[in-house]
Amino acid sequence: MCGIVGVVQDKDCFTELYDALIMLQHRGQDAAGITICNGDHLNSRKSKGLVREVFNQNHYERLKGNYGIGHVRYPTAGGNTKEYAQPMYVNSPYGISLAHNGNLSNTPDLAKELFHSDLRHISTDSDSEVLLNILAHEISKHKEKDPSPEIFFEAISNTFQRCEGSISVVSIITDYGLLAFRDKLGIRPLILGSRENESGGLDYMVASESAAFHSNGFKIKRDIAPGEAVFITFDGQLFSNQCEDESKLTPCLFEFVYFARPDSIIDGVSVYEARQNMGERLAKKIKAEIPLDDIDVVMPIPESSIVSGTKVAESLDKQIAYGFVKNRYVGRTFIMPEQNLRKTSVKRKLSPIYSEFKDKKILLVDDSIVRGTTMKEIVKMCYSAGAKLVSVASAAAPVKHPNVYGIDMAAKGELIASTRDIAEIKKFIGCDHLIYQDLNELVDSVTSLSDKIIDVEKSIFDGKYPTNITQEYLEVLAKRRGSKI
């Protein structure tokens, strides 16, 4: 999972890009980067680390230009060194810089095509570098013609024909403008915002989440549609085109469960309201399966569970307690690149307020249970703090299958629900009661808020991949992540 942003405005845009990346930091903690175009020159800075660690005053003074793109990364496919930080760049044609959120599932085949047919060399095993070179090759087919939105849109149509997987992209065509596009299923979010500038025209921002808009006064204009591309010239003219006819809006369900900020709106759905729905529906199942006398207080795990957990407490008419203090200087453990980092970071991330646990029956509410190791440590903390009884409720259904669209769930063997039933999971976690949300209720929590979303991408729950995914690919992906199928 990554965060991307692109800006076109009538003045230097570094501040807007930096602020937007800060708002998208939850989507990636491994690396950050910004590339800005100033005339026919690209100015870039990228490195491993958080946004505030990668950029300083010197970069503010050096990265000049009125349109640019930014990226925050957490590693899925590919390596975990500085070379994998984005935006990535190729100098031909025109000079193209690209930032990508998602994952290509046919990267090896495409890399061979690039080398043998397109005569392009790939220096990493990053699917984003492959995507960049595919796009560059398709644009270069028209290099005898003057660049135009029509040429860029045709290149994207051809790129969609060659690439499989999830694709949300912002890119710069040097000295021409910003090009953004989204795959035909709309798996990863991409939203367009605008604001009026001092010249009376419009500035534009394209980002992974609408939360990136607020700090700089951008307003939601609309979502980029599945299979759509937009091109914004450096002087603020906007063009759009549907580049894939067979498109269907199928956003990732896990965006609403965990990844997105609660103040974001994705494909017209408020993430906050979706999580409220999840809590309300989860409470109904808790009432049916757990004696209410076994619950003194409801305790959400901060932070992505607070909305759903609060709704659970309200629906059960139980006291809510915020018994864990989150260390905000420790990142999200789920998206840390290595399993040993996740384990050691749980106690650094959360510390209990002992008075909230002593001699109480606690119902923990979390957004999801993925590997189970984090929840196991949290349950231990509850008992160590004096809890009499600990129940666990997941606002999401059991996660059973690998994710191939940009989330770090590359191997089935890492997922606790893939090989254990509820009783076995409860024993592993060490809790007294365990409740999972029903998948149909989880889906309805989102789709009931929108007339546009008929279905969602939910393969991590049901194993049904909307693109062509083979067992061989899953095995290769698991091997790259150093995990077992």
Residue 87, burial from CB neighbour count under 10 angstroms (0-12, 13-18, 19+): buried
Residues of 92-120 as b/e, b for ≥16 C-beta within 10 angstroms? ebbbbbbbbbbbbbbbeebbebbeeebeb
Cβ–Cβ under 8 Å, residues 85 and 47: yes
Q: Is 452 helix (H, G, I), strand (E, B) or coil?
A: coil
Cα-Cα end-to-end distance for the chain: 21
**Closest by CA position to 238, among listed 470, 8, 479, 472:** 8
Give, in degrees to the nearest 5, the angle at Cα 370 between 452 and 480.
95
Catalytic hit among 2, 37, 382, 431: 2
Q: Is 114 helix (H, G, I), strand (E, B) or coil?
A: helix
On whether 40 is known to bind a ligand per the annotation, the reply is: no
**2 among known catalytic residues:** yes
On whether 366 is known to bind a ligand per the annotation, the reply is: yes
Q: Is 167 helix (H, G, I), strand (E, B) or coil?
A: strand
**Closest by CA position to 204, among listed 189, 222, 187:** 222
On whether 459 is known to bind a ligand per the annotation, the reply is: no
What's the rounded Cα separation, in Å, for the pair 379 and 213?
37
Cβ–Cβ under 8 Å, residues 193 and 213: yes
What's the rounded Cα separation, in Å, for the pair 61 and 337?
32
Q: Is 455 helix (H, G, I), strand (E, B) or coil?
A: coil
**Closest by CA position to 132, among listed 158, 169, 81, 174:** 169
Report the catalytic residues.
2
Cite the annotated binding site for Mg(2+) by residue number: 304, 366-367
Cite the annotated binding site by residue number: 304, 366-367
